[in-house]
Amino acid sequence: MKSIWKIIFIAFVLRLAFSFVTWHPDLNNHVDWGIRFWEYGPAKFYKANVWSFTWPNQPPGTIYIFAGIRKLFELTFSFFWYLNVSIPAFPSNLMLFFEKNLYQALLKLPAILSDCGIAYLIFRVFAKQGKKTLGLCGATLFLANPIVWYNSTIWGQTDSIISFFALLAFVLLIERKFFFAFFAIMLSLYIKLSLIIFLPVFFVVALKQKYALKQWVIALLAPILIISVLTIPFSQKAEPFGWLITLYKDKVFTQQLQVITANAFNLWAAVAGIHEKPQTLLLGPLQYAQWGELLLGIAYLPAIYLVWRKQEIKSVMWSLSIIAFSSFMLATNMHERYLYPLFAPLTILVCLYSFLLPLYIIVSLVSLVNLYNFWWFPKIDFIVQIMSVKDRIAPRILGLINFGFFLYFYKQFYTRNFRKG
């Protein structure tokens, strides 16, 4: 057991050190949201038109995180300032460094902790089966993945946070801890709704576990009550869940790009290119968005059917991996970061099926280039030139490569779970 904590501690320290390296423009939004929360209060937060960068297009769970980080920054900086003025030997240059870099590191802290949490959950899955060595390999593989580093430590995005709570929900559900599992999945959705794609799998597994009506009522009501209490400061006199639905319907969903692909190296990048084009454009008889919905629905159904047949850890991880991979590859309006939820369940599958390791490595490297595309950090001129040449033909090629490996992975999913013999 000590080994997993050593691995996590080393990974945490290294990530914390690298979190000071750069400042992605997205962090400006997170800073702005944290400051405005305390300036205007939750009641006026979504109504105010005072944003220095982007209107807050995320639900209250995300806003609470960045508001908390703002207070943590103020307290931490105040503490070091007290040391600076109270202890003559304290290096004052350190305060200049903190003034410039501390906030960005703290903004990345929840994502870094979530990376470490996911690694522990991967270890726990195997440790429960008496396979601790395999669990240590899985945790190390996940923490060493450059995608995980780049997304959380360098960029500072929240994909790892919602992925942690989603994976926690399924680990707890497999362990038949339904109450805590439902609470975890609700937290993931309250922070960001991206992983609603996993919700049908959760309910199918829970239904097949045949919980009593009383257990369902308790599991449903407790998270609903807590989320209601957390939402009331924002919604005020409005019914909190009705207010949340309106927020998503009128603001969060409608104010996204609504394009064929938002720099995601997927099927649609290969077909239509990486330039922003509306997803309502026609491709034959249907719009791109409609093609995406149709193809995703076809790919999605076998994953649901699998967990209806079997609720063991293998089946659940196959289903989550297929849904995450299919969503990224087949749905329109995908961002480059939206492949992150694939890597936690896929890491578990790699530990179970070693032949998947080459796919894991190649998809990770293509995804790393995808995250690098357009941000160019650190800037490597020859890579920038390659990605930009001939009207950005390279992203189309990489999208096709990604799609090819997706088809290979889907074939393995079908072969391993549905073919007899």
Q: Is residue 370 very low, low, confident or very high in pLDDT (cuts 50, 70, 90)?
A: very high
Cα separation values, 38 from 76, 211, 272, 348, Å:
17, 42, 43, 41
pLDDT of residue 421 exceeding 70, the answer is no
Q: Is residue 251 very low, low, confident or very high in pLDDT (cuts 50, 70, 90)?
A: confident
* pLDDT score at 358: 97
Average pLDDT over residues 17-31: 91
End-to-end CA distance of the chain: 38
Q: Which tops the pLDDT comparison, 88 or 79?
A: 79
pLDDT of residue 88 exceeding 90, the answer is no
Contact present, 343 and 147 (Cβ < 8 Å): yes
The percent of residues above 90 in pLDDT, for the chain, comes to 83
pLDDT of residue 21 exceeding 70, the answer is yes
* pLDDT score at 329: 98
CA angle (250, 253, 257) in 5-degree steps: 120
Strand-pair partners of 349: none
pLDDT of residue 400 exceeding 90, the answer is yes
Pairing label, strands 286-287, 282-283: antiparallel
pLDDT of residue 141 exceeding 60, the answer is yes
Q: Which tops the pLDDT comparison, 254 or 89?
A: 89
Cα separation values, 165 from 114, 183, 191, 364, Å:
8, 9, 10, 22
What are 23-28's contacts with CB under 8 Å, separation 24+? Answer: 23/104, 24/154, 24/155, 24/156, 24/375, 24/377, 26/155, 26/156, 26/157, 27/104, 27/107, 27/156, 28/52, 28/53
* pLDDT score at 94: 87
* pLDDT score at 187: 96
Alpha-carbon span 382 to 314, nearest angstrom: 42
Instruction: Kindly state the helix (H) or strand (E) to which residue 262 belongs, with its residue range.
Output: strand 261-262
pLDDT of residue 252 exceeding 90, the answer is no
* pLDDT score at 56: 86
Of the listed ranges 39-43, 91-95, 121-125, the one predicted with least confidence: 91-95
Q: Is residue 420 very low, low, confident or very high in pLDDT (cuts 50, 70, 90)?
A: low
* pLDDT score at 236: 85
pLDDT of residue 255 exceeding 70, the answer is no
The percent of residues above 70 in pLDDT, for the chain, comes to 99
In the DSSP assignment, the letter for residue 47 is T
* pLDDT score at 238: 81
The mean predicted confidence, pLDDT, of the chain is 93
Phi-psi region of 290 (alpha: psi -120 to 50; beta: other; left: phi over 0): alpha
pLDDT of residue 278 exceeding 60, the answer is yes
Strand-pair partners of 261: 334
Rg for the chain, CA atoms, rounded: 22
* pLDDT score at 208: 95
